[in-house]
Amino acid sequence: MGRPDLTEAFLEVISLVRARATLWGTIQAAGRWGVSFPRRHDLLFFRVDYGSCQFVRAGSGAVGLKTGDILLVGTSASFRLTSDPEAQAQAVDSWKLVAATGSREMRLGQGDEAPVLLRGGRLVFDATMERLLVDFLPSFVHVTPPAPSWERVRALLAMNEAAAATDGVQSRFVVPRLMELLLAELQCGEAVVAKLGRGGIRPALTDSMATKALAALHGDIARKWTTAELARLCGKSRSGFSARFSQTVGIGPMAYIQHWRMAVAKDQLRTGRRSVTEIAYLVGFQSSSAFITAFTRENGCSPTRWKRRATDLDQDD
């Protein structure tokens, strides 16, 4: 097997998170307003149809949004959308508001000054693969017009919204494919800029050292990798490599490979074509007992129990 480049590695991640559906909603606001989104470990997206507002996350500067802008936001940390960063007192909790009104159409603020309309919602993935969203996908991506990448993202969102509004087999097939294309474009599009927070694989696309290390890890998952070996491969000292990898990707190299091994193992368990022992060796463990111990520590249950749970979830869909 040839070693993949980093784009191919990211496409592996997209295939394993198993995109399922898109839940759409709106935010219509005017005057001074704010809405908060709690930490939940999922992915939200927003498109500014008209007007302007601010994206605010603790520990980072505010980001101005204007008509046409598109956001992908990982909720590994809470954030606010607001008329201005000082309007914190006006912020309402998005989940409480939806629960109270029974509607995903949020109306905020008062009067008609500085109106803004955002459309967006939540990307729904396989619940058993949620850890991948935190470890491998971006925490913040901001796409602005008129770049070619923005045109493609806008078109994919429009097709996604139209497909999500229909029922039946066609929608259940089309929406996941459109979500996969959307994620691929958001990660790999040439004009996309990730500005805030840890960014998963995408920041490594512009870091030659991280690119080389990640391509090696994805290309030979069964190898008994060490930080020292990866550092030699990249021509760096062990400490220098570890620090730069962690800064770029968001987690250390050994944590990264461990999480990736668990993700691949889950996918193999779900397909049911290999035994636990075969999967253990496939993802780089020297024995099935070592794999079972690591898997149980990571997921709170044994591989066999996890497989039964995943099968039950699939049958419920």
Give the mean pLDDT of the chain: 84
Position 259 in a domain: yes
pLDDT band at 181 (very low <50, low <70, confident <90, very high): confident
Residue 198 covered by a domain: no
**pLDDT attached to residue 67:** 96
What does the pLDDT read at residue 31? 92
Q: pLDDT band for position 191 (50/70/90)?
A: very low
Same domain, 287 and 167: no
pLDDT band at 90 (very low <50, low <70, confident <90, very high): low
- Check whether residue 23 and residue 164 sit in a common domain: yes
The residue count of the chain comes to 317
What's the average model confidence in pLDDT over 149-165? 87
Decide if 24 is inside a domain: yes
Residues spanned by the domain of 226 = 209-316
In this structure, what token pair is assigned to residue 268? 């193999």
Which of 45, 221, 20 lies closest to 128, judged by CA?
A: 20
pLDDT at residue 4 in the model: 47
Judge if 27 and 130 occupy the same domain: yes
More confident residue, 189 or 245: 245
Q: Give the pLDDT score at 194.
A: 47
Of the candidate ranges 14-23, 150-159, 289-298, 302-311, the one whose mean pLDDT is the lowest: 14-23
- Against a cut of 0.75, is the pTM above it? no
Question: Is residue 132 located within the same domain as residue 276?
Answer: no
- The set of residues, in sequence order, having a beta carbon less than 8 Å from that of 106 and lying 6+ positions away, is 25, 26, 27, 28, 29, 35, 94, 97, 98
Domain end among 188, 221, 251? 188
Cα 138 to chain centroid, rounded: 5
Asked if residue 263 and residue 231 are part of one domain, the reply reads: yes
Asked if the structure places residue 273 within a domain, the reply is yes
pLDDT over threshold 60, residue 193:
no
25 belongs to a structural domain: yes
If asked whether residues 258 and 144 sit together in one domain, one would say no
165 and 46 both lie in a single domain: yes
Inside any domain, residue 201: no
Asked whether residue 215 falls in the same domain as residue 90, the answer is: no
d(CA 180, CA 186): 10
- Tell whether 169 is covered by a domain: yes
Q: What is the mean pLDDT of residues 138-165?
A: 85
Residue range 129-140: mean pLDDT, rounded: 69
Same domain, 43 and 150: yes
Boundary of a domain, candidates 139, 158, 188: 188
Rounded to whole angstroms, the Cα distance separating 238 from 42 reads: 33
223 and 265 belong to one structural domain = yes
CATH number of the domain encompassing residue 132 = 2.60.120.280
Residue 317 confidence (pLDDT): 53
* Res 234: pLDDT: 95
> CA–CA distance from 51 to each of 25, 118, 288, 305 (Å)?
17, 9, 57, 50
pLDDT at 51: 96
Identify the weakest region by mean pLDDT among 51-55, 87-91, 112-116, 235-239: 87-91
Which of 159, 188, 217 is the endpoint of a domain? 188
Q: What is the pLDDT of residue 60?
A: 79
Would residue 202 count as lying in a domain? no
Q: Decide: 245 and 210 in contact? Cβ < 8 Å.
A: yes
Look at the chain and report how many structural domains it folds into.
Answer: 2
CATH number (domain holding residue 284): 1.10.10.60
Q: Return the minimum-mean-pLDDT range out of 42-51, 124-133, 217-226, 294-303.
A: 124-133
Q: Looking at the structure, tell me whether residues 13 and 73 fall in a common domain.
A: yes
122 pLDDT tier (thresholds 50, 70, 90): confident
Are residues 154 and 248 located together in one domain of the fold?
A: no
Choose between 272 and 276: higher pLDDT: 276
pLDDT value of residue 316? 54
What is the per-residue pLDDT for 55?
Answer: 94
